[in-house]
Amino acid sequence: MEDIDVQAVKKELIETITYFVQRQELVAQALKEFGLDLNIMGILGAIGWTLGSEGAKEFFTVSTTKLEGDFINALQKMAESNIPSVKQTGQWTDKNGDIWNYFMHGGGCRLTNKKTDELIDWDCPNPTHFDAFKFCYHLKWQTKNFPNKYPHLIKYLHEHDIYTIEHKLIPELVNDGKIIKTLGNPYSLA
């Protein structure tokens, strides 16, 4: 078998990650249009999109005065605002008129484009951070839809399991200084 140019693979991988991070902005935009607070969702998870302001007021009036911290502060902010309750699944139309199916989960949301099947899964609150596992799902879509753009990466993926991206190449990119390991969602571009 022909040797794989690992540096070219890493270069293309950075391009695919950059594209994925840019696309995560769509999820953030959808959540904002739903009236949700990204920071509150990042702290409260599903509570941030299921209870709505009235539910939060009823659910957390009992002992929140005795508790402190980011979680309680987020609950109080949510109870004082008009954050809506959002259904777990539905459709959202972006500014270009593309229709996306959405699935709310924990502190995030997965969008799937009805026409292209592009899947973007992101957890709040910072859209510049990405999860390597969720990125791998998007990478499958990118390499299928842009095969001529990533020849080295596609060749690498023919010889390696896609999860070697998450467990081998992304950590190497951290060591190379191209990606930063962060708190919460584990990575961001350097």
Residue 1's pLDDT band (boundaries 50, 70, 90)?
Answer: very low
How many residues appear in the chain?
190
Q: How far is CA 15 from CA 9, 12, 109, in A?
A: 10, 5, 23
Q: Tens digits of per-residue pLDDT, 123-180?
A: 999 999 999 999 999 999 999 999 999 999 999 999 999 999 999 999 999 999 999 9
- Whether residue 114 is predicted with pLDDT greater than 70 in this model: the reply is yes
- 58 alpha carbon, distance to own chain's centre: 30
CA angle 96, 97, 101 (to 5 degrees): 115
Q: Are 132 and 186 in contact (CB under 8 A)?
A: yes
- 5 alpha carbon, distance to own chain's centre: 29
For residue 62, what pLDDT is reported?
44
Asked whether the CA dihedral 108, 114, 116, 117 is positive or negative, the reply is positive
Q: How far is CA 113 from CA 7, 100, 185, in A?
A: 32, 4, 23
What average pLDDT score do residues 55-60 get? 49
pTM of the full predicted structure?
0.84
Lowest mean pLDDT across 5-19, 34-48, 94-108: 34-48
Q: What percent of the chain shows pLDDT beyond 90? A: 66
For residue 48, what pLDDT is reported?
72
Distance CA 115, CA 99 (A): 8
- Whether residue 47 is predicted with pLDDT greater than 70 in this model: the reply is yes
Would you list the domain boundaries of the chain?
6-34+86-189
